[in-house]
Amino acid sequence: MECRKLGITVVSAHNLPDVRSLGQMKVYAKISLKGTSKAAVKTPVDIEGDTNPRWNFAVDYTVSESKVQGHGLNLVVKLMCKRTLGDRLVGEVKIPVKDLFQMGLKSQSVLSYPVAGTREGRLDLMYSFSERMLARRPWKTALDTVGFLVLVGGALLLGGDTDAGDEDEDPKPHVEVHDGDVFYDAS
């Protein structure tokens, strides 16, 4: 499957409303594709910026080429205020991934987006897309590496020739694919 790496750097937010009645706001961002909280990646909590937090937090995703150029895949950044009695949503930004891709492979400068749910709040971020690459299923990579796979009682056992493959060959990119389309790349 053809895919691209999508790098997102959440730089900062500014002019956020103060959603606390006492004390200083401590804001973090939850970043996800498709808006699912299961796959959300959280920035560290900014404890100094109050209503103007800064993170410079980078996260990488791998996205199938069809999702990059299709409709329906959104980058969702939810801005949250850390609180003792439960975190509170400050606002959110939804950006179609296709719109980012159509602007070019890489943002030339910091992009600023309005934060929904606020009057004047803005979110600053940067993005980059890699060139197209081929993603391989993890089991297929393991099979190519060790020769064979055996499933015993729910455990995957690898076996075979560990020197498989030609040393002169260029290594193929190894990308785990979850849900077939999008996942957080922890590497």
Could you tell me the pLDDT band of residue 54, with boundaries at 50, 70 and 90? very high
Task: Specify the pLDDT at position 138.
Answer: 58
Mean pLDDT over 54-69 rounds to 91
pLDDT tens across 86-145, in order? Answer: 999 999 999 999 999 999 999 999 999 999 999 999 999 999 999 998 876 655 555 555
Residues pairing with 144 in the sheet:
none
Residue 71 makes CB contacts below 8 A (sequence gap 6+) with 96, 98
Could you tell me the pLDDT band of residue 184, with boundaries at 50, 70 and 90? very low
Q: Contact 63/74 with Cβ under 8 angstroms?
A: no
Q: How far apart (Å, rounded) are the C-alpha atoms in residues 20 and 10?
A: 23
pLDDT tens across 78-88, in order? Answer: 999 999 889 99
Q: Contact 56/3 with Cβ under 8 angstroms?
A: no
With H, G, I as helix, E, B as strand and everything else as coil, classify residue 173. Answer: coil
Sorted by where each starts, the structural domains of the chain and their CATH numbers stand as 2-129 (2.60.40.150), 136-184 (no CATH)
- Closest Cα partner for 99 from 71, 123, 78? 71
- Closest Cα partner for 38 from 79, 11, 76? 76
Residues pairing with 2 in the sheet:
134
- Closest Cα partner for 57 from 104, 123, 106, 117? 123
Task: Specify the pLDDT at position 178.
Answer: 43
**Residue positions counted in the chain:** 187
Residue with tokens 């089991």: 139
Mean pLDDT over 162-172 rounds to 41
How far from 128 is each of 3, 8, 92, 121, 131, CA to CA, in Å? 14, 7, 21, 24, 10
Task: Specify the pLDDT at position 144.
Answer: 54
Q: How far apart (Å, rounded) are the C-alpha atoms in residues 117 and 93?
A: 9
